[in-house]
Chains A and B, each alone.
Chain A
Amino acid sequence: MNLFALKEQLREAGILISFTGSFSHSIIEELGTAVKKYLETAESQKTAMVDVFSVYIEAAQNVRNYGERRLRAGQNDVDSSIVVIAKRDTRYRIYAGNIVEAEDIAELGARLDRLAAMDKAALKEAYKEQRRKERGPDDLGAGLGLIEIARRATQPLEYTFTPLPDGRAYFSLCVEI
């Protein structure tokens, strides 16, 4: 493998940060620190800086929390996750990908479609309603991550499910800021 060619490919695609593997909290934290340092020097818009960081954290923690649930259920391929932050001109794109179990595909797709159909005011309402909900005892998150991501996005969320031979799917989310 020619690493120089790979590096050039990453540069041409505007990729600032890309991590693939199993997400631990310390990796999320380290990459987050790197993202923040980059944005502090390269980004003059404070709101864009905060939005990119926030979407990165929510996306990475969603991937990690879902991976954690799958690990508990005996799955051991959670190292196939990926998070990418790219910049083209003045727009940022945050991508997150991971394997989704067959039984979760329809629900996740429906949730994203509902969010994509909401305007900013409706998203704020959904956010406030979800924030008031009681957490289940095994919940790792507050159920707010995707709503937060949709609120920060400047374009409707884009997603795909690439079917895997065993009925599961590889989920990719793209968030533009």
Chain B
Amino acid sequence: MTIEKLQRSATASTPTVDFDPTSGVLRLSGESYPENAFEYFRPLLAWAGNYVSQARTPIVAEIALSYLNTSSIKSVMDLLDILEAAHRRGSNVSVRWSYAQDNERALEMIEEFKEEVTLPFFIVPVAT
């Protein structure tokens, strides 16, 4: 069964989502504090879980989330757990998380995610 692209446009409280099964690039950017983060992320997590089990290309999560409320943080942790499990099974998975270099709080948040996983995880400061 082929996997379709998963795309969502940003709103004030939800991120831009672009998960591309052909290139293996999973993009997430913007801010996330929706009414119900668990409902919002459920299809994203289901897609990722399904995709990592059959991906034939290296998987790169290109993340540029600058602010997450706590229930979104929990959901992004779940996404990283899915990627980490694939990494441990031998898949080629990495995370590249970029942030505006003057946003110290974003950096702290990203570092706290990085501490929870062993997959290749690159933190990329972007000049503002």
Give me the interface of A with B, judged by CB distance under 8 Å.
Answer: 25, 29, 32-33, 46-47, 50-51, 53-54, 57-58, 61, 124, 127-128, 131-132, 135, 139-142, 144-145, 147-148
Contact = CB atoms under 8 A, between A and B. Distances in A.
Nearest to B35: A25
Contacts of B116: 128
A142 B38 CA distance: 9
B105 A50 contact: yes
Contacts, number: 59
B70 A141 contact: yes
- Interface class of chain A by DSSP: helix
B69 A57 contact: yes
Interface residues of B, number: 22
Contacts of B34: 25
Given A33-B12, A131-B77, A140-B36, A58 B70 contact: yes
Interface in B1-48: 12-13, 33-38
Most buried by B among A57, A147, A148: A57
A139 to B, nearest CB: 8
Nearest to A53: B67
Contact of B74 (A51, A58, A135): A135
Interface in B68-93: 69-71, 73-74, 77
Contacts of B118: none
